[in-house]
Amino acid sequence: MAIGELFIGEFISSLFDKVASGDLISLVQSVGIHTELNKLRTSLAPIRAVLVDAGEKRIKDTSVQLWLNKLQHLAYEIDDILDDLAYEAMRRRLDQESNASTSNNMSKVLKLIPTKFHALTYGRKMSSKLDEITTTLRELIEEKNILGLNDNSVERSTRASRRLEETSLVDESKIIGREGDKEALLGKLLGIESSGNQNVNVMSIVGLGGIGKTTLAQLLYNDDKVIKHFELRSWVCVSDEFDVFTTSKAIFKDVGGDDRKFETLNQLQVALSEKLSNKKFLLVLDDVWNENYNEWELLQRPFHVGSPGSKVLVTTRKDMVASVMDSIQAYPLELLSNEDALSLFAQNASGGQNLHVNRILELHGEDIIKKCGRLPLALRTLGRVFRKKSDVEEWEELLNSKIWNSHNQSEILPALKLSYYDLPPHLKQMFVYCCLFPKDYMFDKDELVLLWMAEGFLCELNGNNSMESFGQECFEELVSRLFFQHLTIDKSVYTMHDLLNDLARSVVGEFFLMLDGKMDVDHRIEALDKCHHFSFIRDEYGANKMFKELKFGRHLRTLLAMSVTRLKSWNTFYISNSVLVEVLPQLQFLRALSLANYNITEVPPSIGTLKHLRYLNFSNTKITCLPEQVGYLHNLQSLLLSGCDELSSLPNSFVKLINLRHLDLSHTEKLNKLSLGIVGVSDLKGVLHLQGQLSIKGLHKVINVVEAKEVKLQQKRGICDLRMEWSEVFDDSRNKVIEYEVLEGLRPFKKLRSLQVLYYGGTWFPSWVGDLSFVCLTQLTLHGCRSCTCLPALGHLPSLKELFVGSMDGLERLNFEFLGRFNSRHAVAFPSLEILKFEDMQSWKEWSTSGGDIVGAFPCLRVITIHGCPNLGVVAIELIPSLRVLHVKSCSLMVLRSMVGVSPSTVRLIMGDIKGLTDQLCGEVLEHLNTVEFLKISKCNELTYLWEPEAATREVLLKEVTIVSCERLKSYNCPSSIVKLKIYSCHSLASLSFPTMEGLTFTLKYLDIRYCNNLEISWLVNNFLSSLECLCLSDLRNVRLFPEGCLVHLTRLVIDGCYNLESIPDDGYGFLPFFCLRKLEITDCKNLKSFAYEHLQNLESLEVMKIITCPSLDCSFPCGLWPPNLRELSIGGLQKSVSEWGMQNFPTSLVTLKLYGGENSRVVSFAKALEDTTTSTSTFLLPSSLTSLRISSFVELESLSEGLQHLTCLQRLFIYECCKLKDLPDTLLPSLSCLSVSDCSLELRQNCSRNGKYWPIVSQIPRLEIK
């Protein structure tokens, strides 16, 4: 690890700032440790003086590296002590304020603070710590003298060695995947477009290091058309050290200038101007880093004498460079396609000699692409390493190693490190912090800024720039330098290239640890002992074991639970409350703690001992309250409790969180009362630093307009998302005028991003709603404003992307005024709008955009939803070519036809409950939409079919069709293009028809039909279905015999609730593929008698099987013959009692077993290993390979104490509806990750409850459910 590359200098500088804090100085004087603190500061000075020299020497001298490591550990320890002192100063100040004002509300809470330390006692304790630290510092000073580290008398660069200078020469035969990029730029390069009145245009290629910017520039530079087009060409590699004189001299010599000596820059530029005068030239500036506009402006002065059409082509890693250089257009260079990436790797790996390339690509192609991230430099480098290997085994060994991350054998990370070295120190620490996040993590900018703030990376700047604003600026700077990239689908989410993640990890060493499950216990413990920042990847039950190891990480400042994918609120992971009670008190130095999405029900009181804590995230947990000790967290800045749907109260001590800046209580419906000292809207006026989201509810209670104005939302610059809500009840108590004035008085700051106005009772909206000054507003919701008769003019909002309007009973017409008024006749309304939704607009009659002074509207609109607008009869709007998704529901046929008419490019059409939609009219609608790929129709009860049989054979793009609850639908003719078909609850449906024409490509992959009682099943033998991969048939009461077909590609078959089904073919599963089927489910088929179970062992690919509630099935099943690779089996509710099953010979691959008993199971206990059985015992032995076992509805079962003892791999045990069960296999309980017991005997429930005999063991289980 290269600590010189990290941020120790920045860290130590921050220590000096903390030592100089006024509150801290007062404290140390009062407790008598001022001398010790001065000694510490004096000892730090000579250390700081040699850091630059140490950063350079550590590359070749491991002793210096070790010295820097010891210094970083000590710096963390110093920071902890200074933070402890600052906390004590803050605590004493709160005590003084409390004593001075015993009558205020806060005093009652502050009395909860323990009796303060006696000054002498506290001083002695801290004096001892400071002396110990100072002694260690002096030892480090002696070591630095021995190491020969010099003072930083002259600032020296700590950059990595300059990379090799690229020339203009290129071997085009070795370039893969850049043909399209070359053609796109060639047209621009040879064009004559001009920037203003300039003769020369600047173009830029922007992208990651190693992505191929220079290669693309070389291809363009050497193209024959370019050579002929330009009279002069020059190639200069600028690299990271930009110098106007040096660069100008290189250009001069490259365009034919002599090698004379110039005394001044002026002489040089005059000579260069003479060379370029009236010549059409191409200048390539490769690898530019300079962001100084003045230097660029000076460099380019001689260029303006060139002929029109002259070009400067720049390659850079930074968007800011392109902006500074007045580039007419920055061309973002993307990663290679998968196919091109593999080709480039193969080219470099084979070299015409290696014969194993094709086989490796077949086996590991996707893995290679992932490891290299489709980055050309990485692919070439890895290919060259593999070229030296002679056999497949050596290749596979390399693929499982990190050899290409090695400094000695790889160009990849050194090439990317130049970007890292160019960062200022404060950005370095923010970037490397991201090594705690797994690869492919989807970054939320706000989340990351809060963590940076908690770690002390952000400082409060003078003026109006808060820590949060500074953090946002830093993030955007990293984005501009391509350390983060927007996710293609969701622009609010960012990703980091895998190789940049590798880069971050390569420079942080032992101080950061991201645990991904690949490190053994001994190495984890060793790493935790040195680690200060720790994160881990969540798995469902694994946190308990990992948390117990955290006792070795006593110096941790960061503990974050991570997931690669974005979690939903219902994604739950498990950890026992007892583990938190045990571990949290040992993590005394935590600054950031995130345990979101765990099943935590109680926060232990010991949370109050984490006095350094700044960031605490318990979102989406099951906590019901927070302990009063939370009030001791005086440093806490961010408390996130979003989605805690069981949270009902906050502690009274909450008001002591004097540094709290971010409180997220969204989606906490049970939380009715806040102890924040805020009981009315006027109380918000004193809250000056509100950040992020603000929700104000109960505004109908505000009857004094002055209160609303006193809030001064317009001055609260940090609020980006605002929700204002009145009551859903509209009665005589509502005053329209007052509500209008209240909303007018609550005008927010102009940089608001999202606004929701709910149940507002005024007749119209104030002028600020939709005001042009809200240039950052991207999302607007106006819902439940039932008294409003018109919408505000919104079309001139330049950034609005999503608009939701709903439940506005007073609105009858929407006309051109909604589009806004513009000064220009060439204006376009709603220039950025992408999603528009109208819902529950009962009185709405007309929507027209005609009139006004605009030339167009909705140029970017992709999605329109019109739902629940039964009286809307006139839709007269302009064509919307950009529209891709159209959703019309509970509206008239006129609305559907009108919207289809203006949506020629729709690919997803969803329509439901359209009155008057007949067969003929539906056909007319669909004929207008040849671009539709997805169609969903629901509750259109006048339809009997969708299209004529001949229409189904036309060439269309339709790939997916869903039909739901069309009561009169009798037949369906499937188009030949269809891939996925779902039909639910169409009770009149009698037949399905599939194409039979010769030469058709069979496309149908997925077929799901449910609750169609009249549908027979003869259509299943159609050859068109031979391509099926998934077939689901549910509640088809008219099905008696399963036809014999040949579904050769089927991977999943589900037959459920077909009560009259009697037989499934017994001729060796002729209708099923032996080598494809992976999942088979047959459930709730009460009359099924014939089932070819003797052929189950031939289904070699079957992994999941479910056969439940088939009480008529041949009593010889089960007979001990099972698919050889079965992993999961659910079985029960059969004619044959479980007690009569006999030995089953389950395959060793079986890890999950779900047993359903029923009234005739007659099992009292399960067979014990190596013991004879009785009639009251199940006569089969549960397989020892099980990791998960579910036992349900065994009404006679009394004991599990012996029948499960041999299941040593068992991790999850579920026991439901076993009303006589009294005991559990106690020797297995300690190894369980999950125990769920429901509807069992009272005795068992008591034994598993607090003070029960099993409680000491089961309380340690991460997921424990006793009901």
Per the structure, how many domains does the chain have?
Answer: 7
- 1003 and 1082 housed in the same domain: no
Predicted confidence (pLDDT) at residue 589 exceeds the cutoff of 90:
yes
Residues 1097 and 1224 in one domain: no
Whether residue 521 lies inside any domain: the answer is yes
Residue reference for tokens 């001009």: 194
**How far is Cα 185 from Cα 137, in angstroms, rounded to an integer?**
58
Q: Which of 365, 390, 421 is the last residue of a domain?
A: 421
Ramachandran angles phi, psi of 1079, nearest 5°: -140, 130
The answer on 329 and 342 residing in a single domain is no
State the Cα–Cα distance between residues 961 and 946, nearest whole angstrom: 11
Range from 405-414, 581-590, 1180-1189 carrying the lowest mean pLDDT:
405-414
- What CATH number is given to the structural domain containing 219? 3.40.50.300
Domain stop point among 334, 362, 384: 334
Per DSSP, 337 falls in state P
Show the CA angle centred on residue 958, arms to residues 953 and 964, nearest 5°: 105
**119-147 helix and 34-48 helix, angle to the nearest 10 degrees:** 20
1152 shares a domain with 1132: no
Q: Does residue 110 carry a pLDDT above 60?
A: no
Strands 779-783 and 754-758: parallel
- pLDDT higher than 60, residue 1073: yes
DSSP E strand stretches across 1035-1171 = 1052-1056, 1079-1083, 1104-1110, 1128-1134, 1152-1156
Bridge-based pairing of strands 493-495 and 443-444 is: antiparallel
Specify whether 394 is located in the same domain as 298: no
Query: Are residues 344 and 324 part of one domain?
Result: no
557 in a structural domain: yes
Answer whether residue 1093 is part of any domain. yes
What band does 106 get if pLDDT is binned at 50, 70 and 90? Answer: very low
Decide if 205 is inside a domain.
yes
pLDDT of residue 717: 82
Kindly tell me if the per-residue pLDDT of 153 is higher than 50.
Answer: no
b/e sequence 707-717, b meaning 16+ C-beta within 10 Å: bbbebebeebb
pTM of full prediction above 0.75: yes
Q: How far from 819 is each of 683, 710, 829, 879, CA to CA, in Å?
A: 37, 32, 6, 15
Report the sign of the C-alpha dihedral through residues 1257, 1259, 1262, 1267, in that order. Answer: positive
Residue 502 covered by a domain: no
Q: Taking residues 409-425, what's their average pLDDT?
A: 66
Element (H, E) at 238: strand 232-239
- pLDDT value of position 469: 86
Kindly state the average pLDDT of the residues 683-712.
78
Question: Domain boundary at 961, 996, 1023, which?
Answer: 1023
If asked whether residues 321 and 254 sit together in one domain, one would say yes
Cis peptide before 1118 (omega within 30 of 0): yes
d(CA 323, CA 318): 9
Query: Range of 230's domain?
Result: 172-334
Could you read off the pLDDT of 221-252 as tens digits, one per residue? 999 899 999 999 999 888 767 888 988 888 88
Do 1098 and 1152 sit in the same domain of this protein? no
Q: Is residue 360 domain-shared with residue 386, that is, in the same domain?
A: yes
C-alpha to C-alpha distance for 98 and 543, rounded to whole angstroms = 41
- From residue 825, alpha-carbon distances to 118, 531, 856, 876, 1253 in Å are 76, 63, 10, 21, 82
Res 174: pLDDT: 76
Domain contains 380: yes
Contact 36, 131 (CB under 8 A): yes
Identify which has the larger pLDDT, 825 or 894. Answer: 894
- In this predicted structure, which of 36-50, 534-548, 672-686, 789-803 has the lowest mean pLDDT? 672-686
Structure tokens belonging to residue 1181: 């032995």
- Which tens digits make up the pLDDT trace of 734-747? 999 999 999 999 99
- pLDDT higher than threshold 70 for residue 358: no
Share of the chain above pLDDT 90, in %: 32
Could you give the CA distance from residue 396 to residue 389 in angstroms, rounded to a whole number?
Answer: 10
Residues with Cβ within 8 Å of residue 1205, at least 6 apart in sequence: 1168, 1169, 1225, 1227, 1228
Distances in whole angstroms, Cα of residue 543 to Cα of each of 549, 626, 1233: 10, 22, 10
Phi and psi at residue 433, to the nearest 5°:
-60, -25
Q: What is the mean pLDDT of residues 1002-1013?
A: 92
Question: Both tokens of residue 476?
Answer: 């955007």
Residue type, 161: S
Q: Is the same domain home to 1224 and 1236?
A: yes
Average pLDDT over residues 789-816: 93
Indicate the range of 152-156, 371-375, 940-944 predicted with least confidence: 152-156
Query: Is 762 a residue whose pLDDT tops 50?
Result: yes
Per-residue model confidence (pLDDT) at position 735: 92
The confidence score (pLDDT) of residue 387 equals 66
Q: Say yes or no to pLDDT of 120 above 70.
A: no
Tell me, yes or no, whether 621 and 525 share the same domain. Answer: yes
Asked if the structure places residue 807 within a domain, the reply is no
Non-local CB neighbours of 1264 within 8 Å, separated by 6+ positions: 576, 1234, 1235, 1236, 1248, 1258
Whether residue 187 is found in the same domain as residue 114: no
When mean pLDDT is compared across 160-169, 862-871, 995-1004, the lowest value belongs to 160-169
Confidence check: pLDDT of 161 > 60: no
Angle, nearest 10°, between helix axes 34-48 and 8-19? 150
Q: What is residue 890's predicted lDDT score, i.e. its pLDDT?
A: 96
pLDDT tens readout for residues 14-29: 887 777 776 677 777 7
Residue that the structure tokens 């429930």 belong to: 1245
Residue 22 lies in a domain: yes
